[in-house]
Chains A and B, each alone.
Chain A
């Protein structure tokens, strides 16, 4: 009976997909939802590719799964991937069924599935991934993700014992996930160790998960990311099997020690968060059997998705666009930190990070601003900040509370008017931080800035 339901679900979903495609509509979610409506355990009946890799974690899922998909494809593998669609259960189902035949058997070699942490219980028990890559687990959307203890609980409860875990060994929460999975390997960073670790603005793990004593750290890069140990019971961050030992920013390369031998790869982007992502990607590619030269080739021909990080020259203006994940305090703070670190002086920041949907007949919860470290914006190299969007007054209050000089801040509630406030006489370097779902704003701003910089307006 279950089998029959599955085939009905598969046919209905394939029909839905065909019709959506015919209408030129997005088919990366709805067919999956149709299938799951008819057959709840639809995912469990699919004949999956030979290798199934899932990617999860708070920050970097999309970057890693895009990169894996692109490197695998460059090396001749056929890949099922959902990164351009949805990463919840229906998105995973839609991606898998799109690449399966009428019997539900996959036509691809490998599946690289980005899985939202909260979908763990709806995905892993059905597809039993061969590998799970976890970049990090940290504070995320208050509304959806609650706290890291909750995320740890659902991922750990959902994973079958046989899944091999590829974990960030420099994240004490991630490295302790799912103790039932004995087959685990760790990646991390030794390059550019901070000499002094300041007390992080916030940390999602403070006490030893084994004995409850206060954890100490050899060093911390940001939040709880770094090397920790417990002086009481001896618990410590695990040894890393894949270790980034050097980053050469000038020549855009990074070195990773793979099973004791060092290899150099093309550095696609030099943000520290991405160097973790890249090292994690190398770890999983190596685990599934790609040779070093295959991985090197993949990195040499890859670039980070343009929409996440882009630069633009407009007359005298040098403009950097950085996508920031709103409602996600640590990801956003990372973007602030990065914006403060690039281009050394007299720069202007234009910040458009209010949630799009939560401000249409809504009023966005701004609690997350208070978990986000705004003190990066007090950096001397930032001469002016334009906060734009419906919550700009809240942004101002948060920033001054974090020590940003209020005389440096300009507010413009109307996003379409924000670019007009850029003083091209005073500033050459402009950094635009925009929210994930505000890509259309960013696209419009690019045109406005081009006109402004080239004096055509």
Chain B
């Protein structure tokens, strides 16, 4: 199995970079390709089984999009082929039609995979928790963001929410999904936080390995899951 980690040196805010480490520990025999921002992504020409990209600054979002936009067709080709692509935090927004930066009075064209718009306001920080369901697996996660995504994702969501907000405060569906492209506003360590989801991702890419440190990860996951279901715990 080949796994490409995109730009961890700049797209690894909020613990996102350790998602990769968790995959590495879970897949000791896989080949990991770490691509820095100044290099050409492996996926431009070749076929990795899993691609990961994490949270970044707003300036970096614009730079990453400038790099990706000319290869929009290739990205769509990989999505159609069923390559597993996991975009966490505001990397999810790259796949929208447009990102508007309200504070900086800028906007940038996205990859347009989903007919949605992200709006970023640096003076409005949102923090939240996520309890949602993806293919029968309960996912727990945390969010911290300046942005919300607007538009209808009811037929292309990543999670059906059990508790917590969706792509915006009015939505009951979090993130976006098309085939195995999974975009979630949950922050980076979504994999160590969700060992069952980690195993699900591995299985989508054709593997059968178990999540690393499964016992410890399941114990933390189950405790959190119980807390997130507890109505006393604020969301």
Residues of A within 8 A of B (CB): 139, 142-144, 146-147, 149-150, 153-154, 202-203, 206-207, 213-214, 361-363, 365-371, 393-394, 396-398, 400-401, 406
CB atoms of B216 and A400 under 8 A apart: yes
Which residues of chain A are near B234, meaning CB under 8 Å?
361-362
B57 close to A (CB within 8 Å): yes
5 smallest beta-carbon distances between A and B, as pairs: A370-B15, A370-B18, A365-B142, A393-B220, A149-B57
Given the interface pairs A368-B15, A371-B14, the reply to whether A393 lies near B223 with Cβ below 8 Å is yes
Partner of B224, one of A153, A363, A371, A400: A363
Q: Can you spell out 23 A-B residue pairs with CB atoms less than 8 angstroms apart?
A: A142-B14, A143-B144, A147-B57, A153-B122, A206-B9, A214-B38, A362-B233, A363-B233, A365-B144, A366-B189, A367-B142, A367-B144, A368-B14, A369-B15, A393-B216, A393-B219, A396-B216, A397-B213, A397-B217, A397-B219, A400-B213, A401-B212, A406-B216
Cα of A203 to Cα of B188 in the assembled complex, Å: 16
A198 to chain B, nearest CB (A): 15
A361 to chain B, nearest CB (A): 5
CB atoms of A401 and B22 under 8 A apart: yes
CB atoms of B18 and A150 under 8 A apart: no
Which residues of chain B are near A214, meaning CB under 8 Å?
36, 38
Which residues of chain A are near B212, meaning CB under 8 Å?
401
CB atoms of A361 and B233 under 8 A apart: yes
Known: A147-B57, A203-B9. 16 other contacts (CB 8 A): A142-B15, A149-B57, A207-B37, A214-B38, A367-B142, A367-B188, A370-B15, A370-B18, A371-B13, A371-B18, A393-B223, A397-B220, A401-B18, A401-B21, A401-B25, A406-B213
Partner of A397, one of B37, B38, B216: B216
Which residues of chain B are near A370, meaning CB under 8 Å?
14-18, 188-189, 192
Name, among A206, A397, A401, the residue most crowded by chain B CB atoms within 10 Å (CB to CB). Answer: A397
Which residues of chain A are near B18, meaning CB under 8 Å?
370-371, 401
CB atoms of B10 and A206 under 8 A apart: yes
CB atoms of A142 and B144 under 8 A apart: yes
Cα of A293 to Cα of B234 in the assembled complex, Å: 55
CB atoms of B9 and A363 under 8 A apart: no
B197 close to A (CB within 8 Å): no
Which residues of chain B are near A394, meaning CB under 8 Å?
220, 224
What mask results when residues 194 to 205 of chain B are scored 1 for a CB within 8 Å of chain A, else 0? 000000000000
Partner of B227, one of A142, A149, A363: A363
Cα of A110 to Cα of B227 in the assembled complex, Å: 49
B133-160, CB < 8 A from A? 142, 144, 146
B125 close to A (CB within 8 Å): yes
Given the interface pairs A363-B224, A363-B228, the reply to whether A150 lies near B57 with Cβ below 8 Å is yes
Residue of B nearest to A394 (CB): B220
CB atoms of A396 and B220 under 8 A apart: yes
Which residues of chain B are near A369, meaning CB under 8 Å?
15, 189
Cα of A147 to Cα of B227 in the assembled complex, Å: 28
A144 to chain B, nearest CB (A): 7
Cα of A401 to Cα of B25 in the assembled complex, Å: 8
B100 close to A (CB within 8 Å): no
Which residues of chain A are near B38, meaning CB under 8 Å?
207, 213-214
Which residues of chain A are near B219, meaning CB under 8 Å?
393, 396-397
CB atoms of B122 and A150 under 8 A apart: yes
Which residues of chain B are near A202, meaning CB under 8 Å?
12, 17
